[in-house]
Amino acid sequence: MDFYERVRFVMNHIPYGKAATYGQIALLCGKPRNSRQVGYALNRRLGEKDLPAHRVVNASGYLSGAASFRTPDTQKKLLEAEGVIVDDENRVDLKRFGWYHTLEDALEFREWFEQNGI
* Cα distances (angstroms) measured from residue 82 to each of 19, 77, 99: 10, 9, 13
Domains of the chain (ranges plus CATH)?
3-115 (1.10.10.10)
What is the predicted pLDDT for the residue at 47? 52
Asked if the model's pLDDT at residue 114 lies above 80, the reply is: yes
Q: Residue 72's closest CA among 51, 86, 93?
A: 86
Dihedral in degrees, nearest 10, Cα atoms 43, 44, 48, 52 = -40
- The predicted model scores a pTM of 0.92
Q: What is the pLDDT of residue 1?
A: 55
Length of the chain as a residue count: 118
